[in-house]
Structures are given as structure tokens and as C-alpha cells.
Structure 1
Amino acid sequence: MVKKDAKPRLLRWVLLLQEFDLEISDKAGSENVVAGHLSKLTIEDHGIHDKSGHINEWLKDDRLMEVSSKTPWFADLANYIVSGFIPDEMEPRERRKLRHDAKRYFWNDPHLFRKCGDGMFRIWVSREEGLEIFDRVHNSAYGGHLATSITIAKILQGGFYWASMCKDINYLVK
């Protein structure tokens, strides 16, 4: 690329595409009917051009619009397991429960594992994550609408568990 071709938008694309192993080939206009059709479409100007008529290099999607940070549901448990830290604002009853629960869990970044009743360690997920897993196992094309016990067995075989798993799956399968 020569200096005259080095426009900001082009540079951004070049930097992005350097991460991938790809080959770009050119098709003649008569062979590339999709590009030919798209080039003939009329597009309304949505702030693409500035006052001088030049193309505005700023893209609306180039910025990060929102960052949301939500503390995971198991943060206190993971902090206690890893470092023994208990938040000062916890009540004595909550502290005892945290110490008791920590005996059944271990932390292997980024997952929290729990020793279940059958002696197997499974990834402990939130209810929301569990319902997404259920949806994939039960409702997806590769899952099949299986009965409650078979769906629970498949999720357990996959190595996942959440507190209200049996109750949730029984309700959703019915």
C-alpha cells in the first residue's frame, strides 16, 4: 500500500484483516452480479458526507456505545475460595453459610465447579445460563424434544449444574 491509499478507514480495515489468513480475489463486474446490483442502488445520505462534499471517515459503529459491568452471582464465593476474603457488610449468618458452601466448590478460572451428590464435579452456572443450556439441549434442531429425565441426564453429562435445575427442566418440558 502506498501513502496516498493510506486513508483512516482503509487502515482500520487492513489492521483488522491482518489477523486472518485470507485471500482476496477480484471478479469482473459481469461475473459479480451481487456487487453490480448493490452498486446500482440509491442510498440516502445519512451524514456520510461532510459540508465540503467529501466522505466522512467517521463511522457510527466505530465507537463503543455502552460498557456494562455486572458482578457475577458467585463473586463472593469465588473470592472466599481463592483468597479467604469475606466482605465486611455480610451478616454473621451469611458468613457461616459462605464458609459452609465453599467446602463443596473449587475455582478454576474462569469457572466455578461444584461437587455434586454423585461425586462428579460440574460447572456451576447461573439460572439464566442454565436455561440457555436447556434451550440448546431440548429445543434446538440437534437436541430433540426429549423427556425430563433424559434432558437432565444430557445436561449433567455435559458437565453443567444449577441450583433449581430439576425443577426448571421439569416445568419447561411439561
Structure 2
Amino acid sequence: MLINPEGQEFTYALRFKFSTTNNEAEYEALLAGLRIAKVMKIEHLQAFVDSQLVANQVLGIFEARQSIIQLYLSKVRELVESFRSFTIGHVRRSQNKKADALSKLASITFAHPAKEALVEVLEKRSIEAQEVHDLIIEEENTWMKPLREYLELEILPEDKKEARKIRIKAPSYKIMNGALYRKSFLTPWLRCVGPNQASMIIREMHEGICGLHSGPRSIVAKMLRMGYYWPTMHEDTVTLLRTCEPCQIHAKVQKQPKQDMISVLSA
């Protein structure tokens, strides 16, 4: 059960598709609550768990000896760093009848659960590593580097003119979750991308699954609506579209003879 700062209660249950011990289930529930609180932008969090062992391990009173529990504990401490303050306590089952009823509710299979009870099905453990590979690798020296250095470290270029440009541009940019974004007045924050990603985005918008081989202005407007930005969007789009072979083959060709040719033939 989650309680927001306004005092509203949110009933939330987990159903596991894998075998687990009681302590592992307690850690899964704790991690789920921490993830939800992080998404809700909560700064000060107070958590209660049924297991005194889990509470004392998170507090550092007890030592985690099993390898799986150590992984769970490491994951919890990683998420705890997202909050300005965090406390955890133990509550007895006899004093927490709602949570006990909720644990039985999650084990019941039904097609239409009540709106007040949200049941999430976990296919695998939260501690299982997920390998993520970047499809496109950007170079270090891109147009974003001076802006990131100024926003993160307040480092400016040695050239006074370039430094002045960075100071003027900086208020329109912001770093969120490690990525650079640009402010937009008509759409949400635009994700800034480098040249390699920009080339892939243009090709996907122009000739990808949903591409219609549109013109540069249409492609640039579509990319902005999708939430991407880089300074030379229009120029890069025009340059790349000139190399599109289907566009060259099916382009409209002027077949009517020019006026000077008509005069020559008539003479």
C-alpha cells in the first residue's frame, strides 16, 4: 500500500511468475515501491516491511550472506540514493491486516480486478541484469559537448566569442537523466542528438517503415514532433535526401521543351 503526501492510498500487489522465498518476495515488494516512489518524484520516503530481517539488512544492522540477497540489497541501496531522505521500519503482520489481505489478493486469478487494487505480474527477478547495447555510437566532440561542459561543470571555451554564444544558448538547454534536452515552446523538451544519430533518424523518417519519401520541410517538422533536435536539421536533411535513389528515380521530370527550344524549332 502506498500513501502519497496528500494522504491518498494506492493499493498495489505483485504476482510472481518465478519461485521465490519470503525474504526475496519482501525485497521485490520493496523494490517495486521504491521504483513507484521515484517515478512520482517523491523526495522523502518512509517504508515499512513485514520482514524484520529485510529492514535490518537495509539499515545495515544485519549482514546479508546469501548471494541473491546481496544482489537485492545492492539494488535497494542504489534506488535509495534517489531520495533526499529514506527510512525503513518493520511492521508486524498482526498490525498490518491490509497488507496481509493484499498478499492473498495477488495470488487469486481474476479477469477484472478492482480499480482500487493494481496487480503487477513479474516475469523475472528485479536483480537480473539486462544487457543494453547502443545501436549507434556517437563521437565525443559533437556540437553538444560545449553545452554539456558548461551546464555540468561550468566550463567555457577559451575563445571569448564562443564562450558568449554558449552563455546565451545555455538557458534553452537542460540535462535530464544524463541526456541533453532543448526547450521547445510548442512541444515538450526536445532530445538533442549527435550527427550519427541524426543520420539514422532522417533515414528512418524518410524511408523507414512509416516513411513516405517526403520533402525536407515535412521530414524536419516530423522529427520535431517526435521530439528530436540538432542545429543543422534542415541542412542535413536536404543533403541526405539528395542521395535517396528512389526519390531520384520517381522524381517529377520536366518533359515540356523550354521556350528557346520552341523558338528554334519554329524558325
The TM-score, its normalising length taken from structure 2, stands at: 0.35
User: 1:114-141: CA deviations, max 9, x gaps?
Assistant: 1246464211112332111011111223
**Residue number in structure 2 paired with 1:160:** 228
| One of 78, 100, 109 as aligned partner of 2:148 | 78
Q: Distance in 2 between matches of 1:143 and 1:75?
A: 31
Report SS of the residue matched to 2:148.
Answer: helix
Higher relative contact order (CA 8 A, sep 6+): 2
Q: Is the 8 A contact 1:127 1:163 kept in 2?
A: no
Question: Residue in 2 aligned with 1:102?
Answer: 170
Gaps of 5+ in 1: 1-17, 21-67
Q: Which residue of 2 aligns with 1:130?
A: 198
Aligned length: 108
C-alpha offsets along residues 79-105 of structure 1, whole Å, 9 cap, x if unaligned?
A: 211232336xx1222221221121211
Deviation at 1:160, TM superposition (A): 0.4
**Kept in 2: contact 1:122–1:159 (CA 8 A):** yes
Aligned residues of 2:138 and 2:195 also touching (Cα < 8 A): no
Distance 2:207 2:224 in 1: 17
Distance verdict in 2 for CA 1:97–1:149, change over 3 Å: closer
**In the aligned structure 2, how far is the partner of 1:104 from the partner of 1:136?**
27
Deviations 1:37-80 (A, max 9, x none): xxxxxxxxxxxxxxxxxxxxxxxxxxxxxxx9952522331121
**SS of the residue 1:113 aligns to:** strand
Please tell me the root mean square deviation across aligned C-alpha atoms, in Å: 2.9
Q: Distance in 2 between matches of 1:98 and 1:159?
A: 22
Instruction: Report the TM-score, using the length of structure 1 for normalisation.
Output: 0.51
Bigger strand share: 2
C-alpha distance in 2 between matches for 1:169 and 1:84: 32
Contact 1:127 1:164 in 2 (8 A): no
Distance in 2 of aligned mates of 1:150 and 1:169: 10
Any gaps of 5 or more consecutive residues in structure 2?
A: 1-127, 131-136, 243-267
Whose radius of gyration is greater, 1 or 2? Answer: 2
Closer/same/farther in 2, CA of residues 85 and 167 from structure 1, 3 Å limit: closer
Q: Secondary structure at the match of 2:214?
A: coil
Counterpart of 1:121? 189
Answer whether contact 2:138 2:197 (CA < 8 A) is retained: no
